[in-house]
Amino acid sequence: MSLLIGARTEELRALTWAHVDLDGQPDADPSIPPSIMVWRSVRIGGDTKTEKSRRTLALPRLCVVALRGHCERQALARKKAGDLWQENDLVFASKHGTELDAANVRRAFRVILKKTDLNENDWTPREMRHSFVSLLSDSGMALENICRLVGHKGTVVTEKVYRKQLRPMLLEGVKAMDQIFPQA
């Protein structure tokens, strides 16, 4: 989720199913895509990091598919836990329905990394959010739009801390000049 929508892990750990819409309203005019409402965090008091961090994010198809499968697996976990399950409506919960802490997330992330060619010492869950910013930037999305998606007040933190330029060559100038002075 962090890689595909840029949400902070602290926001996703607090996400409830009541704040997830996997269907949207495709027949509305204009249509409303599936989305999540990032309105809470695991921070003290449950508030998001900043006021700008409260946002509703449309979900890419891959997220919708993953969340539907996750919902089914969570239903099985709830059934298996029986009386030990504590219903908190959390999307990402422990095997007993309780809130995950940062260590739970890091541990689960390392398990996933071990199944890949990536070095588990080089990656943390936070890197997914940084990758989100870098990938969008490299695709040509305006920094102002990326900053809104990740819930930053302005572009400075997005650009200086999160964005790692994947394509070091600046292409905007040549594209503009080729359009202004097309070949004959």
Sequence-distant (6+) residues with CB within 8 A of 111 are: none
The 10s digit of each residue's pLDDT in 79-103 is 999 999 999 999 999 999 999 999 9
Pairing of strands 20-21, 55-58: unpaired
More confident residue, 146 or 159: 146
Q: List, in sequence order, every residue forming a beta bridge with 16; answer none if it has no partner.
A: 90
Pull the structure tokens for residue 32.
Answer: 């409303």
141-175 in b/e form (b: 16+ CB < 10 A) is: eebeebbbbbbbeebeebbeebbeeeeeeeeeeee
List residues bridging with 58 in a β-sheet.
35
Indicate if the pLDDT at residue 168 is higher than 60: no
Q: Quick check: is 152 catalytic?
A: yes
Whether 49 sits among the annotated catalytic residues: the reply is yes
Element (H, E) at 35: strand 35-38
Q: What would the two tokens of residue 27 be?
A: 């027949």
Active-site position among 13, 40, 55, 152: 152
**Structure confidence at residue 39 as a pLDDT band (50, 70, 90):** confident
pTM for the full predicted model: 0.80
Residue 8 among the catalytic residues: yes
Phi, psi of 150 (to 5 degrees): -90, -5
- In 3-state terms, what secondary structure has residue 96? coil
Spatial separation of the C-alpha atoms in residues 14 and 25, rounded to whole Å: 24
Q: Is 70 a catalytic residue?
A: no
Among 13, 40, 55, 162, the active-site one is 162
The rounded mean pLDDT for the chain is 88
